[in-house]
Structure 1
Amino acid sequence: MKRSRLAWLLTAAQAALLGSVAIPVFASCESGHAQQCDSTAATPFPGGVWTPGNATYGTALDKSIPVTMSDGAVLMVDVSYPTDWQTGARAKGPFPVLITQTPYLGTPSNAGDYFVQRGYIFVTASVRGTRNSGGDFSFFSERDAKDGAELVQWAATKLQNSNGKIGLQGGSWAGLNQFYTAVAAGRNSPIKAVAPFCAGAEFYRETYFAGGIPTQTAQFPLFFGPAVGNDHGATAYGQSLVNEIEAGGPRAYDREFWQIRTPGNYARQFVELGIPALIWSTHQDIYAESSMSMYAYLQNAYSKQYLYGPMTPNQKATGRYQIIISQGGHCQFEEQTTGQNIANNITLEWFDTWLKDKKTRMADTTEPVHVHELGSNNWISTSAYPVAPSYKQYFLSAQGELSRTVPKHSGKADVLWAQPGTGSSLQFDSPVLKKGATLAGPMSASFYASSTTPNLELIATVELVAADGTVTPVSSGTVLGSLSKNDPNRSWIDKNGVPVKPYGEYVADHYVPANELRRYDFVISPKFIAIPEGSKVRLVVTTQTPSQGANGASTPPPANSQCSPSLGTDACFPTHPQVVSLTSSTVSLYFGPGSPSSLNLPLLKANCFRSEGNTSVPNWSGDNDGSHGAVCQDMSDND
């Protein structure tokens, strides 16, 4: 991993437009390819030889064009065409076509005009059963995927001025459906590149459920009707889905319904189609972890590795699959002052590379992971996921400490299943990190625990405590005892056997006899954050997310609660069977030689990356080969 000298800069014109906001762009003349670069042509954009250029076309919008699907349903599309600046007439073309498939009433049909002004046709298609399209609403069904494939063929062969090359673009719903569409379109389709933003490998995990407990996002189907138009069953569909989840029915588990909607399950098929993908997510996205996992799956498939494992030592990464993690929430790519979309220029270069065959060198990068590091405001690049070769274990103690060694004496602490507070929260602090550190990637917890009922819920929240006492929440993870069984074939461990990314099965409840001690390994969502000198890591263990309805029931929470947003990844709304099995429970958390509960962190030395003004440190490029990883992970100077 490194911070490149010319990486992630602004041109003078962009700086004037966007003020002090840094738009992420890749290193000029990528590492290892500098000999190919003409320094006089270098730019701060990916590859160093491309600029977005000024708008060269006007735009004209044709609305509500009917496109008939193979089953007779009529979908409506809006098409924005390039026009001649002087006459306003449609430009002759032909042009490549970008397609976004959206269900949302609030999606403007001129959202793609930035691309249209630079030589693309942009199609905004209304998903079946939403907006003004016909057919029945079905929430990422196989029929929806087939619709996408048929829209692609229509745009490639029947849309006026199309040159037959198609790119898929969009975020959230319009990001997820790009994978389904591409696979449904099959080999040799017109799709030449995709750019799925704020989307990832998972649907059940991280988004709709946390450790098997419904999240804020699990309530989002209640908004289907108002969000997409309810003439075709969206309201009834959403209410039915929420009702079944709350009752603990089949869709409360990661079974067939969610499996066919899990993009990661199609990663190998997608790579076999030869379609490049640029993933863009954010630190606070509801797909923060699974977007990184999708990147690893695509790289593994390309390298013919085991698809669902961590990237292996010495595994070379291809620039055909890249990921950008910026700051902000779900699909928040706009600079707040000006409202400019900071992702447009990079997306344009991506499509110029693959749809217009421009020699941008964007795809030449050997470090396709680009992260805006929290805390430092630096952009760092790497190739590997996970990043750290080995994990640091911090062991919990009865004295409320996090220690690098297992406590000599056994102990335990009890927590009630209740809203966070006295008797329902525990706190553990690490020693001060005198030299600071870098936290990079997924975290995990290994808790030894028992419960007075056949179930337990534990939430592990990682915080940073600065030297002045300022507390910064970093990330959290949840385990539910009855759904804590992990899939050993998909759970990641480091070279020493320490859990890196436990992968829950979530297919059926396995209740544990009351008071039986067991070990629970669970994932804590990844973050890339610089830890300042003199800080310490804090672990807070609670049993509920603040603030649920009375007695933890899945009733509407207070407006100011952590569970009030319609999107989020916190364990907010336990199902009825979960509430029954958790009510009145007291959980005992154990420490010491026989039950070494731990927090497992991907910690690296502070500033262990080459950057402008910091050329004395080892040039560890994050290639996961361990050659410099040992140096970056030697944190003895913090002792």
Structure 2
Amino acid sequence: MQRRLLALLLALTTALAGLTGAGAATADPGARGEQFPGVAVETDVPITMSDGIVVRANVRRPADAEGDPVAGRFPVLLTITAYNKNALDGPAAGVIGGSSDFFVKRGYVHVTVDARGTGSSDGSWQAFDDRENTDSGEIVEWAASRGRPWSNGSVGMHGASYMGISQLFAASHRPAGLKAIFPQVPAADTYRDVVASGGALDVGFIPLWMGLVTGTGVIPPDYGPAEPDNALQMYLSRLKGATSFTAPTLLEATLGLNAAFDGPFYAQRSPINVVDDIDVPTFLVGGEYDLFQRGTPMIFDRLRQNGVPTKMILGPWDHLQASSGSAIAEAGHGTLQELQLRWFDHYVKGVPDPGLSDIPPLTYHEIGSGEWRHAQDWIGEQRATTFNLSGSSLPGRPGALTAGDADDGASPVAPVPVSGLCTRSANQWTAGLPNAVGVGALCEDNRLNDTTGAVFETAPVDRPLRLRGPINAHLNTSTPTGNGMLSVSVSAVSPDGEVDRLTGGWQVLSHRALDESKSRYLDGELIQPFHPFTKEAQSVMQPGRPEPIDVEIFPTGAVIPPGSKLRVAIQAYDVPHLLPTVRDLPAALSPLTIHTTPQNPSHITLPTLD
């Protein structure tokens, strides 16, 4: 009954949080063969944290043909999850690219742990608060301890999304025994990456994600019948977590209270703030249409700058696709599990693999050409290229994007509450669910959605326009209410008029304050603005007066091929991704105007490649 309940719940909800077993990667025929025929499993093994809370693990060990554990010590691979470890060891194994038994039969012990307050573990879930992040380092040290009769003291970590973020926090504590990590689609800055991109609330993914963690926490633990008091305590802790963390956080954000603003709450939940403490070899996997499209390359960049051995594969994948790793072999380096095995054999098991040096630090898919390209760094060889918005955008007649002087113009942007509903953005910010059920392809052409706003585009380019990295849209904007939201998409328009949305960005007008010290520049031009998004920095605009708004457009790797056009489209909504808080909602119902005059210029700056 427990397994059937688990399978049903996961089938209904895990796809919404990027957890699915569908399309899981299989072992590459070139991967080294199995050493052991069986797997021995011990469930709900207690691990006591330094504050006395007990978290629980499933331990899978190499076994003989009869299923008896093989004597001896082995390197350990570890995954920490909030989605119930029994799911990862069963119906949702695809979240880490396939069954962990692949590694166990090749000489590893595999440990999957429910994070504090989730699954079978005690305590109250607070989603990457300082205590949970401390737990992650302590769990590594537990797995590395010679007190475990099956551990040789060397540990590696892997897993996607939540499990990827846990790796970064664990590594930042530099626990004894941790040798390497392999995070798929981790965040960097949780507020800007996903919770409130541009200062508006993510209503497509965040409520479903929090509900998923709460839902998987009520599945009966394996130890329940034997330890009824502990099982009851677990259920009470789930109730406490739902009422003291999940529900209040969602309510606060919706009402525009503390959780709607950046600050210490999100700082302790953002790996970018501890990434400088990471010193173990790291292999990242990211998606150009992923929830953490912005954050994963930032982690790669910082680790490279710090001299940490780091590699990243960035593919044309949404969250579901990048989590399963089912298409990673298209990058040319093997399947996900083959890459993980080589990484861990080299850095955790200590078996030299000189061929790893043949994998470039960066391998990324170039949208528009379909080619896989290589580089040393995410940002380095690019130059800043700016196009001015010119003239006025009218229905059926786009304004221009030009490298020359701009014509005067004023382009209205009406507040159309269905803008974004049928776009690639809708698939991205529901974690890839439309693609998973086969309807995402119906909304890959953005031309209909672009009619709900202002559009500016270049003439057909005569040579490839290549870009890689984050983009800034500097838009002089006015509004009669002093507030509202800009939703900006960057697209390629084919000769037959098809609009391929490459990436997008968002900005609430009252959050327009710019922190130049944390912003990113290329050739002296702003390419990645940093807005504080604090209550203190928020201020409404003077109604009717144009003011400059810098919109961070999330990074991509793409090419506008000869004969196609570069397009910038501007709307006032992006549904079902973002909505304003209750406090900002009345102002968001008013129209916006984009200005293109010498006094109030608007432009877009891209990091381009020769």
- Give TM-score, length-normalised by structure 2: 0.79
Alignment partner, residue 582 of structure 1: 588
Residue matched to 1:75: 55
Determine if the alignment matches structure 1 residue 545 to structure 2 residue 583: no
1:174 partner SS? helix
SS in 2 for 1:474: strand
- Among all aligned residue pairs of Structure 1 and Structure 2, give the percentage whose two residues are the same amino acid: 25
Structure 1 counterpart of 2:266, which letter? W
Paired position in structure 1 for 2:193: 206
Mapped partners of 1:69, 1:260: distance in 2? 19
* 8 A Cα contact 1:80 1:121, kept in partner: yes
In the alignment, which residue of structure 2 is the partner of 1:410? 408
Aligned residues: CA RMSD: 2.8
Match 2:488 to one of 423, 436, 460: 460
What's the offset of the Cα at 1:99? Answer: 0.8
1:116-155, aligned counterparts within 5 Å? 116-155=104-143
CA deviations on 1:456-495 (whole Å, 9 max, x unpaired) are 3111111111112222111110111111222211111111
Gaps in structure 2 of 5+ consecutive residues: 1-22, 91-98, 220-234, 393-397, 420-448
Report the AA paired with residue 174 of structure 1.
Answer: M
Contact 1:436 1:535 in 2 (8 A): no
The structural deviation recorded for 1:591 is 0.5
Q: Does 1:530 align with 2:574?
A: no
Please give the alpha-carbon distance, in whole angstroms, between the structure 2 residues aligned to 1:374 and 1:144.
38
Distance 1:600 1:229, change over 3 A: farther
Partner SS for 1:462: strand
State how far apart, in whole Å, the 2-side matches of 1:338 and 1:472 are: 22
Q: Give the C-alpha shift of residue 449 in structure 1.
A: 1.2
Distance 1:530 1:118 in 2: 41
Structure 2: distance between partners of 1:181 and 1:403: 46
Q: How does 1:224-243 map to 2 (within 5 A)?
A: 224-229=213-218, 231=235, 232=238, 233-236=240-243, 237-243=245-251
Deviation at 1:387, TM superposition (A): 4.7
- Is the CA contact (8 Å cut-off) linking 1:69 and 1:147 kept in structure 2? yes
Partner of 1:14: none
CA change 1:510–1:476 in 2 (3 A) is same
CA contact (8 A) 1:191 1:275 kept: yes
Amino acid at match of 1:155: A
Q: Distance in 2 between the 1:240 and 1:129 partners?
A: 17
What residue is the counterpart of 1:390 in the other structure?
A: 383
Greater helix proportion:
2
Indicate which of 550, 569, 586 corresponds to 1:521: 550
Separation (CA, whole Å) in 1 of partners of 2:498 and 2:295: 30
Alignment of 1:243-282 (within 5 A): 243-270=251-278, 274-282=279-287
C-alpha distance after superposition, 1:485-521 (max 9, x if no partner): 22211111111x2221111211121222212221111
| Counterpart position of 2:164 | 175
Q: 1:163 matched to which residue of 2?
A: 152
Total equivalences in the alignment: 515
- 1:439 is matched with 467
Matches within 5 A, 1:564-575: 570=577, 572-575=578-581
Structure 1 residue runs of 5 or longer lacking an equivalent are 1-20, 26-44, 303-317, 547-562, 564-569, 605-631, 633-639
Note the C-alpha offset of 1:342.
3.5
Residues 1:593 and 1:248: Cα distance change in structure 2 (over 3 Å) = same
Aligned to 1:380, the other structure's residue is in SS state strand
Q: Does 1:60 align with 2:40?
A: yes
2:521 counterpart of 1:493:
yes
Q: Does the residue aligned with 1:145 lie in a helix, a strand or coil?
A: helix
SS in 2 for 1:332: helix
Query: What SS is found at the alignment partner of 1:576?
Result: coil
CA contact (8 A) 2:481 2:587 kept: yes
**Is the CA contact (8 Å cut-off) linking 1:374 and 1:530 kept in structure 2?**
yes
Partner residue in 2 for 1:196: 183
Q: Structure 1's 535 and 246: CA in aligned 2 closer, same or farther, altered over 3 A? A: same
Q: Are the structure 2 counterparts of residues 373 and 234 from structure 1 closer, same or farther at C-alpha, using a change threshold of 3 Å?
A: farther
Following superposition of structure 1 onto structure 2, how do residues 340-489 of structure 1 map, counting pairs within 5 Å? Answer: 342-361=335-354, 364=357, 367-399=360-392, 400-419=398-417, 420=419, 425-489=453-517
- Equivalence for 2:232: none
- Report deviation, 1:101: 0.6
Q: Cα distance, 1:362 vs. partner? A: 5.2
1:338 is displaced (CA, Å) by: 13
**Whole-angstrom distance in 1 between the partners of 2:461 and 2:372:** 23
**SS of residue paired to 2:516:** coil
SS at 2:68 equivalent: coil
Distance 1:422 1:117, change over 3 A: closer
* Partner of residue 533 from structure 2, selected from 489, 506, 517: 506
Partners of 2:487 and 2:573 within 8 A in 1:
yes
Query: Corresponding residue for 2:87?
Result: 107
Q: Kindly provide the amino acid, as one letter, of the partner of residue 101 in structure 2.
A: D
Deviation at 1:589, TM superposition (A): 0.8
The 3 A distance-change label for structure 1 pair 160 and 51 is farther
Q: CA deviation at 1:413?
A: 1.5
> How far off is 1:366 after superposition?
8.5
In 2 relative to 1, CA 208–362 (structure 1 residues): closer, same or farther, beyond 3 Å?
Answer: farther
Q: Relative to 1, partners in 2 of residues 1:228 and 1:406: Cα closer, same or farther, differing over 3 Å?
A: farther
Q: TM-score, normalised by structure 1?
A: 0.75
SS for the counterpart of 1:200 is coil
Judge conservation of contact 2:55–2:122 (CA < 8 Å) in 1: yes
Q: Deviations over 1:429-471 (max 9, x none)?
A: 2110133332322222110111111213111111111112222
Question: Offset at 1:75?
Answer: 1.3
* TM-aligned CA deviation for residue 294 of structure 1: 0.9
Question: What displacement does 1:374 show?
Answer: 2.5
Code of the residue aligned with 1:502 in structure 2: it is P
In structure 2, C-alpha distance between the alignment counterparts of 1:369 and 1:241, rounded to whole Å = 37
Instruction: Flag the 1:262–1:518 CA change in 2: closer, same or farther, 3 A.
Output: same
Q: Deviations over 1:318-341 (max 9, x none)?
A: 6x1111112321142447699999
**Superposed displacement of residue 96, structure 1:** 0.6
Cα shift at 1:586? 2.5
* Contact residue 211 and residue 484 of structure 1 kept, 8 A: no
SS of alignment partner, residue 107 of structure 1: helix
1:227-260 deviation line (CA, Å, top 9, x unaligned):
4438323432222111010111111111010001
